[in-house]
Amino acid sequence: MSSSRIDETLGVLERRRRIRQLLLVGFLGVVIAVTYFGLNFIGFAPKELWKQVPQEIEFIKGFVPPNFVDFTIYTEQNNITGLQAIPASFRNFGAPIIESITSDSASLVRLSMVTIILGFTGTVLGFPLALFFGVLGSEQVTPFPFNFIFRGAMSAIRAIPALVWILIYVPLAGINEVSAVLAIATDTIGNLGRLFTDELEEIEDGPIEAIQSTGASRPQVIGFGMLSQVSTSYVAWTLYILEINTRIAISLGVVGAGGIGRYIRLRQDLFKYQKAAAGIIMVFVIVISVELLSSRIRARLRPDEHESKSLWDAIKDLGDGSKWLGTGSNR
């Protein structure tokens, strides 16, 4: 290649680089301008917020120290407050905890269990319809444009948050644990079903053609040629949605649907902030526990996509500052 040809090619590359830089600068400028306009539109005033910082600090001080007196029925009846309520609840091989779970009294242990049950049962009830809509929404199963009937149904469900679905179910069950399960199950149909559809669109044609060559019926092709390729992914996605649904159950509790969310809301309304702080700590324990268990099972199902480590190692990593900062040798 001649030197003039090389210079011409370098010039083209340099112009493309400058154009990309200008487009990037322009894009960042638009983002900053829209953000500035948006903050002004909602009345975001840093000076006013700064004036409220002392009040905010005093408010947060009201949550310290957390009071776990409602941890179990035993600690409540014997007025065992603070963190001492936790080890006291494990006396007699955890008899106070078992008593609290089986009782109707609103202890932290029972309400935490209720929250987990809401997330779990909502996921289980929503799974069959998510599978039905998810499979029929794939073009691999239902020809275009009929598959968009099921895709549209899932998109419509996903467009409405669970916090709105529970309001829709008020005439049916009121705002309680039952309506929370129905809202979570409905939300699961849209979110999990769409994940199922996307996963089914990426399967390989080889196994499908092999099943078809044997003279298999259409349901057999779908079952053995398609779903067999994504069964592991479907279980992994269901566990991921279970994590999300547990967080949704906590949010629904804040609006009165039961569980640990309602406990926190009621204690805050009664200005019992130290008890509310204990509820917030229980939320952290619930979410981390479900996430660790779900991640561990998903790592077993798809070892090539997840780092293989024991549950104990995962818990130890939570106390490793380098992992949080991303500065460790094994990130």
Q: Indicate the pLDDT class of residue 217, thresholds 50, 70 and 90.
A: confident
Cα angle: 34, vertex 35, 40; to 5 degrees: 100
Structure tokens at 228: 């067999």
Q: Which residues of 92-126 are buried (b: 16+ CB within 10 A; e: fewer)?
A: eeeebbebbbeeeebbbbbbbbbbbebbbbbbbbb
More confident residue, 328 or 290: 290
pLDDT computed for residue 112 by the predictor: 93
Structure tokens at 47: 């000076």
pLDDT computed for residue 205 by the predictor: 84
pLDDT digits 0-9 by tens, 145-166: 888 899 999 999 999 999 999 9
Q: Taking 80 as the threshold, does the pLDDT of residue 2 lie above it?
A: no
pLDDT computed for residue 311 by the predictor: 58
- Please provide the average confidence, as pLDDT, over all residues in the chain: 88
Q: Indicate the pLDDT class of residue 331, thresholds 50, 70 and 90.
A: very low
pTM to 2 decimal places: 0.82
pLDDT computed for residue 224 by the predictor: 86
More confident residue, 61 or 321: 61
pLDDT digits 0-9 by tens, 74-114: 999 999 998 899 999 998 888 999 998 888 888 999 999 99
Q: How buried is 77 (Cβ within 10 angstroms: 0-12 exposed, 13-18 middle, 19+ buried)? A: exposed
Q: How buried is 235 (Cβ within 10 angstroms: 0-12 exposed, 13-18 middle, 19+ buried)? A: middle
% of the chain residues with pLDDT over 70: 91
Residues 67 and 81: beta-carbon distance below 8 Å = yes
